[in-house]
């Protein structure tokens, strides 16, 4: 069994179960995962050392003089998340699968062998974490090393259970990957301390301002079989929404208390009708609640989760899959409030969305959740890390105006090597390191392919190999390696909602069956060695927003397959500014793969009309001349003088901000 997240209990109430083997061996994601292993994860310990996170652990262990380094209570969680990422990576190396992906590039020299450099680093950081733990099991250096700091007194801001959750997730990953119990023992001791502390009639009867412990405790239950961890997760889900966290009146500036919705403490999750507040908090909570529903089978909770997911997907998600419309409080906005320039769309929120979606996919078996995962993965998530794996975006806007580079919030325009608040980088690392587990699932009847990456997947009693040039090419070849018994068995292939034309063949024979609700289900008596070819031709297309998405009215976006495209200034003809451009509505989009560009991307060109800047005046609003009812006033400017059409070049959004800085836009006026 390939170690990975969500190892469901035997009796879990889900439609689908995770794959037992999941390996990505080539193609788009293998390359990104290699960079993740060789650059991002490999340099994690150095970054954590430089940022002071490791020193905090040493101080807590008594090995250094008291004093906390860093600006945030959750500094420890960066270490925990790196340990989780490194553990998944280590699992792959222990299994030897990294050899398949990376041997040719000499990856083994650096970290490929069990006992290699990565294992050494994991041991070293595990020892630092273990040494920092208090005798009673408590572990958060922010409250351990600052004179006078009191644990469990600032639940709304303190992130103590949040850090505990990440510690537990790291420990579970480490245990699954190595069977080593060093980190798991630390996590269990902390979890037991929390269990003794939190609950009705116990010393503390409230929740954490930042959800995360919920999903972690369900995983700890799965890993240890201890039912009380599941009960404790249920307590934290149930207790939330009762206003026990207060309103954060400590917030300094202006008249804005974050308030209960910010940390989802205004309404119990089962009663909530919309996603709200801090996007990462909201989605970690929902992921945890979905884990709980998976283990308890509770209908009411599942229905609430479906309702909240629909609210998110239909009204509060960017074209890139990013979520969180507001810089202010890093929060969800109102329905259809999706400004491209001020999109916060934090990288961590994209990751949280993927985690929530995947749990919903398993819970319900519905393809739409994996549809959204695909979109988020290739766009709003992947934009968070540079092509070289060394620089990061925290904020992922869909529009950056000319001359605005570097001033678009503290992040957003320029990639940074590390952040003071470094939640995103190790979060990207852990998702990429565990990515194979989001590709496939199984049930009693067969195997489902949710995403398309070259590799090997076993689930539902069978096993398949996938080969594909996705997302650049739309052909996916599947070889069935094993099937259970000799009865009918179903191989299900997800047909993305963008694929209005597609075709499939089994052993070279075209398939007449069509996808239903996003699944092309091929049910037959399979024999090992048989093949399926699915074609999802990724033609370039123009996409329009719902008219209620006010911020991008009158615009279209270029897409191709699962990829959202954007224009970057430097790819455009001289003198063609992105602030003064209209897409030619009758344009033919042309795509061409360019191996030399941005690590190899398919670029798309389109016809556009550069508009001349209006004469400068001091007021940017003008009378339309309409309103008297005397003519067909249109509210639009008089037609400008004819301009020479030009061809502009679009690149995949995920690859933006990898060259010198400049203007960028996804949504193009027509």
User: Active site residue: 214, 219, 330, 568, which one?
Assistant: 330
Residues 6+ apart with CB under 8 A from 264: 211, 240, 241, 272, 276, 277, 278, 281, 282, 285
Nearest to 452 by CA among 439, 462, 465, 464: 439
Nearer residue to its own copies within complex by CB, 190 or 309: 309
Min CB(13)–its own copies separation in Å: 23
User: Active site residue: 208, 348, 423, 424, which one?
Assistant: 423
The answer, yes or no, to whether the previous bond of 364 is cis (omega within 30 of 0) is: no
Nearer residue to its own copies within complex by CB, 348 or 458: 348
Nearer residue to its own copies within complex by CB, 36 or 587: 587
Distances (CA, A) of 329 to 123, 294, 333, 346: 37, 31, 10, 11
Token match 């990975």: residue? 4
Identify the H or E element spanning 235. helix 227-239
Up-side HSE of residue 257: CA atoms within 13 Å toward CB?
Answer: 10
330 is catalytic: yes
Nearer residue to its own copies within complex by CB, 29 or 284: 284
Nearer residue to its own copies within complex by CB, 193 or 391: 391
47: tokens are 């970054």
Nearer residue to its own copies within complex by CB, 347 or 456: 347
Nearer residue to its own copies within complex by CB, 52 or 669: 669
Min CB(201)–its own copies separation in Å: 33
The answer to whether the beta carbons of residues 263 and 314 sit under 8 Å apart is no
Partnered with residue 323 across adjacent β-strands are: 317
Nearer residue to its own copies within complex by CB, 31 or 670: 670
Angle at 2 (CA atoms; ends 104, 192), nearest 5 degrees: 130
CA–CA separation, 472 vs 482, rounded Å?
28
Nearest to 174 by CA among 137, 116, 223: 223
CA–CA separation, 604 vs 590, rounded Å?
5
Give exposure, 367-403, as e/b (b: 16+ Cβ within 10 Å): bbbbbbbbbbbbbbbbbbbbbebebbbbbbbbbbeee
The answer to whether the beta carbons of residues 163 and 80 sit under 8 Å apart is yes
Min CB(178)–its own copies separation in Å: 33
Based on its alpha-carbon atoms, the radius of gyration of the chain, rounded to whole angstroms, reads 25
Burial class for 54, CB neighbours closer than 10 Å (0-12, 13-18, 19+): buried
178: tokens are 């190595």
Give catalytic residues, as residue numbers: 330, 423
């Amino acid at each position: 069994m390939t170690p990975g997240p969500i190892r469901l209990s035997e009796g879990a109430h889900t439609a689908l179960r995770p794959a037992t083997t999941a390996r990505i061996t080539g193609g788009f994601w293998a390359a990104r995962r290699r960079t993740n292993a060789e650059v991002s994860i490999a340099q994690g310990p150095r970054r954590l050392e430089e940022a002071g996170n490791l020193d905090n652990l040493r101080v807590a262990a008594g090995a250094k003089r008291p004093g906390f380094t860093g600006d945030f209570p959750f500094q420890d969680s960066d270490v925990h998340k790196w340990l989780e990422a490194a553990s998944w990576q280590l699992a792959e190396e222990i299994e030897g699968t990294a050899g398949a992906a990376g041997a040719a590039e000499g990856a083994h020299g650096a970290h490929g062998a069990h006992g290699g450099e990565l294992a050494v680093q994991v041991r070293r950081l595990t020892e630092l974490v273990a040494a920092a733990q208090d005798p009673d099991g408590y572990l958060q250096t922010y409250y351990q090393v600052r004179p006078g700091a009191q644990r469990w007194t600032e639940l709304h801001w303190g992130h103590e259970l949040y850090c505990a959750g990440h510690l537990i997730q790291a420990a579970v990953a480490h245990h699954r990957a190595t069977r080593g119990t060093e980190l798991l023992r630390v996590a269990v001791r902390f979890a037991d301390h929390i269990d003794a502390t939190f609950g009705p009639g116990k010393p503390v009867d409230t929740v954490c301002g930042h959800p995360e412990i919920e999903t972690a405790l369900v995983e700890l239950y799965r890993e240890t079989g201890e039912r009380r961890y599941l009960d404790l997760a249920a307590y934290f889900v149930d207790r939330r929404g009762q206003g026990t966290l207060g309103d954060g009146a400590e917030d300094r500036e202006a008249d804005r208390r974050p308030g209960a919705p910010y940390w989802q403490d205004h309404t119990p999750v089962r009663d909530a009708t919309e996603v709200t507040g801090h996007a990462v908090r909201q989605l970690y909570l929902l992921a945890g609640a979905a884990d709980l529903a998976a283990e308890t089978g509770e209908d009411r909770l599942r229905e609430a989760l479906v309702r909240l997911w629909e609210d998110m997907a239909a009204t509060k998600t960017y074209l890139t899959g990013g979520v969180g419309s507001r810089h202010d409080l890093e929060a969800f906005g109102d329905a259809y409030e999706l400004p491209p320039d001020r999109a916060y769309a934090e990288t961590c929120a994209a990751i949280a969305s993927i985690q929530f979606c995947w749990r919903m996919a398993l819970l319900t078996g519905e393809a739409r959740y994996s549809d959204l995962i695909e979109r988020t993965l290739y766009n709003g998530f992947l934009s968070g890390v540079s092509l070289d794996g060394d620089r990061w975006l925290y904020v992922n806007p869909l529009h950056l105006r000319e001359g605005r580079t570097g001033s678009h919030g503290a992040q957003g325009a320029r990639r940074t090597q590390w952040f003071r608040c470094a939640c995103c980088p190790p979060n990207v690392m852990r998702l990429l390191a565990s990515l194979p587990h989001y590709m496939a699932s199984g049930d009693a009847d067969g195997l489902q392919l949710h995403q398309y990456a070259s590799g090997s997947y076993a689930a539902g009693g069978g096993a398949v190999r996938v080969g594909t040039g996705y997302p650049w090419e739309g052909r996916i070849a599947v070889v069935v390696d094993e099937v259970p018994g000799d009865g009918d068995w179903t191989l299900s292939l997800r047909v993305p909602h963008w694929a209005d034309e597609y075709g499939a063949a089994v052993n070279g024979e075209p398939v007449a069956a069509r996808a239903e609700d996003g699944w092309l289900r091929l049910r037959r008596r399979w024999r090992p060695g048989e093949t399926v070819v699915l074609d999802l031709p990724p033609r370039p297309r123009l996409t329009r927003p719902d008219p209620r998405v006010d911020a991008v009215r009158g615009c279209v976006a270029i897409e191709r397959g699962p990829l959202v495209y954007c224009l970057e200034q430097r790819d455009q003809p001289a003198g063609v500014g992105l602030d003064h451009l209209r897409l030619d509505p009758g344009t033919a989009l042309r795509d061409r793969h360019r191996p030399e560009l941005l690590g190899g991307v398919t670029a798309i060109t389109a016809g556009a009309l550069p508009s001349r800047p209006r004469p400068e005046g001091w007021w940017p609003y003008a009378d339309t001349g309409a309103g008297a009812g005397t003519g067909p006033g249109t509210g639009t400017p008089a037609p400008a003088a004819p301009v020479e059409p030009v061809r502009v070049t679009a690149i995949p959004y995920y690859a933006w901000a990898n060259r010198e800085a400049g203007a960028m836009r996804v949504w193009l006026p027509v």
